[in-house]
Amino acid sequence: MIELKTPAEIQRMHVAGRFVAEVLSEVGRLADVGVNLLDLEHHVRGMIKRRGAESCYWDYAPSFGRGPFRNVICLSVNDAVLHGLPHNYTLRDGDVLSADLAVGIDGWVADSARTVVVGTAAEEDLRIIRATEEALEAAIEVARPGNRLGDISAAIWGVARDYGYPVNTEFGGHGIGRTMHEELHVSNKGRAGRGLKLRPGLTLALEPWFARTTDRILYDADGWTIRSADGSRTAHSEHTIAITEDAPLVLTRREQETPATRADSGGSPH
């Protein structure tokens, strides 16, 4: 069942969204050459505990994972793109790091992801990050009453096509609200004018992710980390949004992040 949220409920989701944005900004600030993924994981655990928030990932056990997830953030490096299990890995110059976080505060959830380059950035890595960010903004722009779910999928696909990146349809966006995953799957590939008509109160997590040269994926032995099947590098951008009577409301927008450009998307902020 699809639950439409009231303006008051959306504001409560916005509280969680602002915290998620704060944490991801902090992860981007800390991600540097020589930093271990487990140190980032424990730093985020501390932030969540101090805020009195609840991780949506801890003990998460969907059908595709291997046992319950026992971390609070997904950290995926280079050819890894989704559900990256934090492990004993020290970031190197030029690594691409995708961080994905979902938390609940007072019973309402927000979910967001960003990708940064650690240290020296290669242009081809900046390019795929920009592609996911532009696809996300294109999807947000069409998330308006009267449009259809397929318009969102088509917007993401159109940006990927313009950049020449293939699109995987196994994992995409989703409904969100009282829990991390609610009704509606939002494919990153689709046809405009198709699917559910969008209505005010609908809250969605939109998350374009691309690999440079394949639409196929492989799982690590940990049963969680998803990589591009050919080892090509990847990027992932995600925001939680609410459809309103007017413009779509982005609940997880980071400070100093603008829809048109993000100076922090291409490299370490250090």
Enumerate the known binding-site residues for substrate. 83, 181
Is residue 61 within a helix (H) or strand (E), and if so which, with residue range?
A: none
- Give the CA count within 13 Å in the CB-facing half-sphere of 251: 32
Point out which residues pair with 205 in neighbouring strands.
174, 240
Task: Write the DSSP assignment of 175-231 as a string of letters.
Answer: E-SSSSSEEEEE-SS--TT-SPBP-TT-EEEE--EEESS-S-EEE-TTSS-EEETT-
Known binding site: residues? 83, 100, 111, 174, 181, 207, 238
108 close to 135: Cβ distance less than 8 angstroms: no
Q: How far apart are CA 158 and CA 68, in angstroms?
A: 35
Known binding site for a divalent metal cation: residues? 100, 111, 174, 207, 238
Q: Which residue has the tokens 């019973």?
A: 107
Amino acid type, 143: A
Amino acid type, 180: M
| Triad 132, 32, 209: Cα angle to 5° | 15
